[in-house]
Structure 1
Amino acid sequence: MTAHHDSGPSGWVHRLAPAPADAPGAPASSEPTLTEATARLGEGPVAWAVLVGTELARVITREVPELGGGPAPFETLRMGTEAAVLRSLLLLADPAADRTVPEESLLGDREFARRRVGLDKVLRGIRVAHAALAGALMAACRERAAPADRAEEFLRISELLFGFMDEFSSRMTTEYLTEHDRWLASGAAAREETVRAILDGQPVREDTARELLAYRLEGRHLALVAWCESPAAGDLQRAAADLLHLRGCSSALILPTGRTTLWAWGDPQAPHPAEAPPGATYPEGFGFAFGSVRHGLTGFRQSHEDAQHAARVMRLNPGGTGPVVDYPDVELPALLSADLPALRRFTGDELGALAADSPHAEQLRRTLRLYLRNERSLMAAAAQLHVARNTVTYRVKRAQELLGHDLTARLPEVMAALEAARVLGPAVLLKADEAHEA
């Protein structure tokens, strides 16, 4: 391991650093990878790689959405792109450096195989990353390298990235196919194929499926979609099983769909699942989206669809719904948000300035919503808000002024918009420059 330096034509690599206004965020790479890179490149280039790695992950998920899928899969992808940027910088600083594809990138590749993302999508993601990384390195070289060295450095960047990405694609293909074959040879493959057949509405023999899945398909079902921010699949599976048990399920089917995501089903004994005990806590960074309780093979599929909708609502407003959400509690916003841009326009049209994303507007929306849900009872709303009756009177009057139209004439629409704003928050609310509070 050698100390970093900034002399010579490639010295610009050691002078890399994020712009003062750009916060790189927390690194996604492993501690050994970061320690080695910092020792050989310096803190500035490593911080630059973290920032560029995050941007590469965003570009990839925008161009190839199948490689995303939520916060946890994005973090896995970011870990791989960040490691690739670091390895590229190490090679630019020292052509004799190790050219091996980083293990962090292979972890994401294996997850793509387990999630059944097509190899063509994976290779397209690599091409997108190649183009974006080349652009970032060329721009950085243009800014930091001496004018006399730029032409040679541009050529070196191009040749190095072409060779590295060619080897990268080859190794990722091999690893993908190996993981895919390993998955096919496991019992998990048969279980997942059976579950996906049911979800796709394909005909299946219930007795054969029941034996393979070790789970009854003819009774009630409560579906769960769960995820975590870091690779802790074992903990996630235990947490999902424990939570289904707390909801009144005597048995459960747990199906991991990636390193940080899973699908699950339980068999609740009652038509409405039990609530978790008061004060129940959940691991940090975990999310649990439940469907509705439904019956039979069709209900197995429908409850899962409900859970997917609930998960989408949670991801639209991270932190605004809590770690556990039941589909019946967010059903209306889930249905309305199938077309999010249209819902945002609807919310703005119905609520006017009351749709502003501000604490004051939120207070007025909550007061108006409780007032309407309590059949316009000032006393009932005041009791739920723990404020005086006159306070509710003032807030309701102010909220109706901000609506900009007659509340009575469009009561169902206004209540739907208030519910969407409550659950989805900033995803459907207006920014300060879009809404003005008088």
Structure 2
Amino acid sequence: MPSPSPAAGREWLLQLASRGPVRVQEAASSPATVAETIAHLGEGPLCWGVEVGREMARTIIAEIPAFGGGEGPFQMLRKGTESSALRAMLLLAYPDLGLQPITEEALEGDREFVRRGITLDTVLRGIRFGHAGMAQAFLSACEAHVGTDRVADEMKSVSEELFRYIDGFADAMVVEFLAERDRWITSAAAARAEAVSRILDGEDVDVPATSELLGYDLSRRHLALVAWADAGNLTTDLERAAQAQLRASGAAAVLVVPVGGSVLWAWGAVAGEQPSDPVPEPADPRIRTAHGLPGCGPAGFRQSHVQAVRAHRLARLAGPRAARSTGYADVSVLAMLTEDLDTAREFVARELGPLAAPTEQADALRETLLRYLDQERSVTAVAADMHVARGTVVYRVRRAEELLGRDVGTRRLELHTALLLAQRLGAAVLPQGG
């Protein structure tokens, strides 16, 4: 049966289309929400809503970084903003459908905000920013598609209806947030998370009592791990990966603490005083991990976690360049050097000059020069290592020196450090211009 026509005067909503290339498959909303929107409005308006929802999520994170933290949190937020833009469009076009202003996707995000420790005031601020972006998009579209004889009245009507919509949306978000917070506060998971938080904050804790609460012996030697995924809610998969990696490293017991749907903290109780067994890469290609060094007791529990978090940060900065399992022992120097990322960028630009250009040619010169310094300036060793001719190595080193404006033996420590930063972190420390 064909869909009924939109409310009188709202036919312009059927003309909406995304400004950029957006496909139906890119929608973050549930299949039911997507199907409902297409059935009543068509694919063009759906793609318009997908684009608007994505921009709303980006704006909210830019204004309120607490909602960010990687691709997983972004996609969770986008599900809420996109589905809300689609729902608002349906309510404007078909006010008699009896739809609620809130979507299940938005409520799912609301529940995750509670588990991530985002406050209600912050959620309400996010709603205000989202509403501002949504209203601007609808009013601009209205101005573009409605005739001049009635555009002013239509824009006024749309603005008023969107205010009523966002009031109902905000009310439903508050109710769900408070209900989820009550559930969370009374849950065992919250009690464990609170105990872990106290340890990580450096508070003195009753070790036997806290160990009993956690089901994990705090007096042992601990290896901390951070597991994360760049897309989707993979809490169960993250837990499985963390368990497997820590067990493979010799852990006799494991404690896991989810941090939202896309990040998980974990600790394994490992034996002995020697370094633990190597931590393998996760079997699931969607998941990446970072780990600290083993430490004893509550202080070691905290220190290993801090190291794992620093390794996690380095891996996120490195992006595709990072290994799927990053150990703090391998990146501790880089972690110290990038505590102030702006200073690290300035250092790389100053030491490398034109050699810091973000181009494939400059990247090849930097890689060759770094290996040249690593191999104590042995052209033969570098050629064998890179599987290139000796003449190629000689040319690249000379060309690099021309760009540097000095011999590679001058300020060698600084040069070696800048090259290492560029190799491991790439765009995170290189200038963005060509």
Displacement of 1:14 after TM fit?
A: 1.0
1:430 counterpart residue number: 431
Give 1:320's aligned residue.
Answer: 321
Question: Structure 1: how far apart are the matches of 2:334 and 2:175?
Answer: 43
Aligned-residue offset at 1:6: 7.4
Give, as a single letter, the amino acid of the residue that structure 2 aligns with 1:56: M
CA distance in structure 2 between the partners assigned to 1:110 and 1:216 by the alignment = 30
Alignment of 1:351-430 (within 5 A): 351-430=352-431
Q: CA contact under 8 A between 2:223 and 2:270: conserved in structure 1?
A: yes
Q: Distance in 2 between matches of 1:340 and 1:22?
A: 34
CA contact (8 A) 2:7 2:93 kept: no
CA contact (8 A) 1:355 1:429 kept: yes
What's the offset of the Cα at 1:281?
5.8
Q: Go from structure 1 to structure 2 and tell me whether the alpha carbon gap of 1:20 and 1:90 turns closer, same or farther (over 3 Å shift).
A: same
2:46 alignment partner AA: V
In structure 2, the CA distance between the partners of 1:392 and 1:295, relative to structure 1 (3 Å rule), is farther
Q: Which residue of 1 aligns with 2:95?
A: 95
Distance 2:63 2:433 in 1: 30
Kindly tell me: are residues 2 and 311 of structure 1, through their superposed partners in 2, closer, same or farther at Cα, counting changes over 3 Å? farther
Offset at 1:108? 0.6
**Residue type of the alignment partner of 2:320:** G
Q: Which residue of 2 aligns with 1:14?
A: 14
Task: Name the structure 1 match of 2:131.
Answer: 130
CA distance in 2, matches of 1:294, 1:382: 41
Contact between 1:332 and 1:420, CA under 8 Å: does it hold in 2? no
8 A Cα contact 1:24 1:48, kept in partner? no
CA distance change for structure 1 residues 43 and 4 in 2, over 3 Å: closer, same or farther?
Answer: farther
Query: Deviations along 1:297-320, whole A, 9 cap, x unmatched?
Result: 212112111121222222223222
- In structure 1, what is the equivalent of residue 278 of structure 2? 275
The alpha-carbon deviation at position 255 of structure 1 amounts to 0.7
Q: Deviations over 1:334-390 (max 9, x none)?
A: 222222222222111111111111222111111111111222222332232222333
> What's the counterpart of residue 143 of structure 2?
142
Q: Secondary structure at the match of 2:267?
A: strand
Aligned with 2:226: secondary structure? strand
**1:76 alignment counterpart:** 76
Question: Which residue does the alignment assign to 1:251?
Answer: 253
Q: Distance in 2 between matches of 1:140 and 1:157?
A: 11
C-alpha displacement of 1:42 = 0.8
Q: Distance in 2 between matches of 1:39 and 1:13?
A: 14
Match of 2:346 in 1: 345
- Counterpart Cα distance in 2 of 1:328 and 1:246: 18
1:423, 1:107 → 2: CA distance? Answer: 36
RMSD (CA atoms): 2.0
- Structure 2 unaligned blocks of 5 or more: none
Which stretch of the first structure deviates more once superposed, 201-210 or 389-398?
389-398
1:323 positional shift: 2.2
Q: Which AA in structure 2 matches 1:54? A: R
Name the aligned partner's letter for residue 212 of structure 1.
L
Task: Work out the CA distance in 2 between the residues paired with 1:379 and 1:294.
Answer: 42
> 1:285 — aligned with what?
286
Q: Percent identity?
A: 44
Deviation of the 1:23 alpha carbon = 7.5
Q: Indicate conservation of the 8 Å contact 2:57/2:74, yes or no.
A: yes
What CA distance in whole angstroms lies between the structure 1 residues aligned with 2:311 and 2:361? 27
Q: 1:143 to 1:25 in 2, by over 3 A?
A: farther
TM-score (norm 2): 0.94
Counterpart amino acid of 2:84? A
Aligned length: 431
Q: Work out whether residues 231 and 260 of structure 1, in 8 Å CA contact, stay in contact via their aligned partners in 2.
A: yes
In structure 2, the CA distance between the partners of 1:149 and 1:337, relative to structure 1 (3 Å rule), is farther
CA distance in 1, matches of 2:142, 2:334: 48
Q: Tell me the equivalent position of 2:60.
A: 60
Instruction: Label 1:137 to 1:284 Cα distance change in 2 as closer, same or farther (>3 A).
Output: farther
* Structure 1: segments with no counterpart, 5+ residues: 434-438
Counterparts of 1:370 and 1:257, CA distance in 2: 39
Matched, 1:29 2:29: yes
- Contact 1:252–1:266 (CA under 8 A) maintained in structure 2: yes
Per-residue deviation, 1:391: 2.4
**Structure 2 counterpart of 1:199, which letter?**
L
Distance 1:235 1:187, change over 3 A: same
Structure 2 SS opposite 1:318: helix
Distance 2:263 2:102 in 1: 25
Q: Which moved more, 1:115-124 or 1:387-396?
A: 387-396
- Say whether the 8 Å CA contact 1:60–1:129 is kept in structure 2: yes
How far the C-alpha of 1:290 sits from its partner, in A, is 1.4
**1:436 corresponds to:** none
8 Å CA contact 1:18, 1:24 repeated in 2: no
**One-letter code aligned to 2:152:** A
Q: Determine if contact 2:241/2:282 at 8 Å carries over to the other structure.
A: no
Distance in 1 of aligned mates of 2:287 and 2:350: 35
Q: What is the Cα deviation at residue 254 of structure 1?
A: 0.5
Distance 1:339 1:143 in 2: 46
- Equivalence for 2:233: 231
8 Å Cα contact 1:54-1:78 kept in structure 2: yes
- Measured in 2, the distance between the counterparts of 1:299 and 1:96 equals 61
Q: Which amino acid aligns with 1:10?
A: R
Write out aligned runs for 1:299-310 (5 A).
299-310=300-311
Q: Distance in 2 between matches of 1:317 and 1:26?
A: 26
Deviation at 1:80, TM superposition (A): 0.5
* Within-5 A mapping of 1:187-266: 187-228=188-229, 229-266=231-268
Q: 1:12, 1:341 → 2: CA distance? A: 47
Residue range with higher mean Cα deviation, 319-328 or 178-187 = 319-328
